[in-house]
């Protein structure tokens, strides 16, 4: 992220500071505060009320629609066709403040992550990731399935990567999981990553019991617990193929727990 002045810095909160790196960026975004330029939004790709995605002359336009007080968006992101660079436009005078507030907040931050991952980088899941010091365990579940409960149960003896959103990527012929800044009820998260040893699909039960899942069923359960780029055919093909390859490498179980 860059801005129009090298003297101003972006604000980094207590959670995001763990994800700041001085490594070479894969995507460059330049932030502009003030007037949002007008774009033709005729080719709508996707719209889910709080955000929408358009295509315009080779560029992709990501619009924040979470505030409907004005017909004009308060925030707009333009991305080049290769998704390696773009601009963020914010309609206010925050450019006079130092430090600047984070220009990429919900929902644009997570949508951008889903788009970038779908380009062959990985998949983000509704999951809790746990590092027990030797192995990595991925617990998948939708809302109320118990991800935060699992995090709290393991927190005294393990490192919790995140209790709600985990990114999985293929690296060195293994599947690695990584923490993200977007946590649930458990806020003591980590940006580190490690290989996945086992995958568990959470389910509330009367007893604590782990039952192996066959690959076909496991793929279906992964797809209903991920953040799929449903607006993009190639991105969906990649996501489905990724889930197939993941279950071929990592054993999967359905975990009933009290």
pLDDT (tens, 9 = 90+) of the chain, 258 residues, equals 787 765 556 777 888 888 988 889 999 999 888 888 888 887 999 998 888 999 998 899 998 876 554 556 778 899 999 999 999 988 765 555 555 677 888 888 999 999 999 999 999 999 999 999 999 999 999 988 999 999 999 999 999 999 999 999 999 999 999 999 999 999 999 999 999 999 999 998 889 999 999 999 999 999 999 999 999 999 999 999 999 999 999 999 999 988
| Residue 4, SS3 per DSSP | coil
Total domains, the chain: 2
Query: Which residue, among 132, 148, 128, 139, has the nearest Cα to 254 in the 3D structure?
Result: 139
Contact 61, 43 (CB under 8 A): no
Q: Are residues 214 and 187 in the same domain?
A: yes
Query: Which residue, among 111, 68, 117, has the nearest Cα to 88 in the 3D structure?
Result: 111
CATH number of the domain bearing residue 217: 3.90.228.20
Q: Are residues 227 and 197 in the same domain?
A: yes
Domain hosting 65: range is 16-117
What is the chain's Cα-based Rg?
A: 20
pTM: 0.91
Contact 111, 228 (CB under 8 A): no
Alpha carbons 127 and 164: distance in angstroms, whole number: 5
Query: Which residue, among 123, 134, 148, has the nearest Cα to 223 in the 3D structure?
Result: 123
- Among 68, 89, 117, the domain-final residue is 117
The one-character DSSP state at 126 is E
């Amino acid at each position: 992220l860059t801005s129009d002045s090298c003297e101003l810095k972006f604000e980094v909160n207590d959670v995001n500071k763990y994800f700041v790196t001085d490594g070479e960026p894969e995507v460059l975004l330049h932030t502009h505060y003030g007037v949002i330029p007008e774009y033709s939004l005729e080719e709508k790709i996707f719209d889910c009320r709080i955000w929408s995605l358009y295509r315009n002359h080779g560029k992709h336009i990501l619009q924040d629609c979470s505030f409907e007080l004005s017909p004009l968006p308060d925030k707009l992101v333009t991305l080049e066709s290769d998704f390696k660079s773009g601009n963020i436009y914010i309609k206010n005078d925050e450019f006079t403040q130092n430090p600047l507030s984070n220009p990429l907040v919900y929902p644009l931050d997570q949508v951008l992550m889903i788009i970038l991952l779908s380009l062959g980088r990985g998949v983000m899941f509704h999951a809790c990731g746990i590092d027990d010091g030797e192995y990595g365990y991925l617990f998948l579940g939708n809302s109320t399935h118990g991800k935060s409960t699992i995090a709290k149960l393991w927190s005294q003896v393990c490192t919790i990567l995140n209790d709600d959103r985990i990114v999985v990527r293929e690296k060195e012929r293994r599947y690695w999981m990584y923490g993200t800044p977007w946590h649930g009820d458990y806020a003591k998260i980590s940006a580190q990553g490690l290989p996945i040893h086992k995958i568990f699909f959470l389910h509330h039960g009367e007893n604590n019991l782990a039952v192996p899942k066959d690959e076909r069923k496991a793929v279906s359960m992964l797809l209903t617990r991920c953040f799929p780029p449903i607006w993009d055919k190639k991105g969906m093909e990649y996501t489905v193929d990724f889930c197939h390859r993941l279950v071929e490498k990592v054993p999967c179980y359905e975990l009933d727990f009290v």
